[in-house]
Chains A and B, each alone.
Chain A
């Protein structure tokens, strides 16, 4: 359905709205400070969509795979793969 990029941190109300309105068929990718959603919150309580996080940005902020749950970690190649699959985009 749609690819939703979340790039601002947990205090950003617009990002929370994007997570809330996403449905089961959407894919959310946490990039930049958006990765903090996966570190400090349980994303399954925030959104119905499938959630991915960009490993590069997670590691750039000093976190690793063990620090996040309920998200699939991807690299830029994986992000482009999602861009290919999802026709709609919400930034």
Chain B
């Protein structure tokens, strides 16, 4: 099954990115194809310059690990521009994307999980 998860809120301030990561991991284990679409403030979650304290989880690092496991991580390019996140800052495996790609996700995925703001 193709499962897409859309996130909108910033990491650490809210739990949605953790929720999305856990759902993606469980879905991968069950053999599904997973895409995470990062919209609005959630684009901060792929900023490789984020440096949490050692005892806390490193969300960008987790996103990188997910990408390495085959999860597609698409980032709204305009949302990146609005937040000063440039392509050289994003974690390996994630890719700048946009609304046309989001529209095609709607059309092509079997399940669309929107974690609304």
* Binary flags per residue of A6-42, CB closer than 8 Å to B gives 1, else 0: 0100000000000000000000000110000000000
Cβ B113 vs Cβ A91 within 8 A = yes
Cβ A56 vs Cβ B1 within 8 A = no
A84 to B25, CA, bound (A): 15
A79 on the B face (CB < 8 A): yes
Cβ B114 vs Cβ A7 within 8 A = no
A46 on the B face (CB < 8 A): no
| Chain A residues positioned under 8 Å from B29 (CB to CB) | 77
| Chain B residues positioned under 8 Å from A7 (CB to CB) | 15-16, 19, 115
Cβ B114 vs Cβ A80 within 8 A = no
* Binary flags per residue of B14-41, CB closer than 8 Å to A gives 1, else 0: 0110010011011101101000000000
| Chain B residues positioned under 8 Å from A76 (CB to CB) | 22-23, 25-26
Closest Cβ of chain A to B111, distance in Å, is 5
Taking residues whose C-beta sits less than 8 angstroms from the other chain, chain B's interface range is 10 to 19
A45 to B23, CA, bound (A): 29
Closest Cβ of chain A to B57, distance in Å, is 13
| Chain A residues positioned under 8 Å from B32 (CB to CB) | 80
Closest Cβ of chain A to B85, distance in Å, is 24
Cβ B1 vs Cβ A31 within 8 A = no
- Where the two chains meet, the residues of A that have a C-beta atom closer than 8 Å to any C-beta of B are 5, 7, 31-32, 56-57, 75-77, 79-81, 83-84, 87, 89, 91
- Where the two chains meet, the residues of B that have a C-beta atom closer than 8 Å to any C-beta of A are 1, 3, 15-16, 19, 22-23, 25-27, 29-30, 32, 111-116
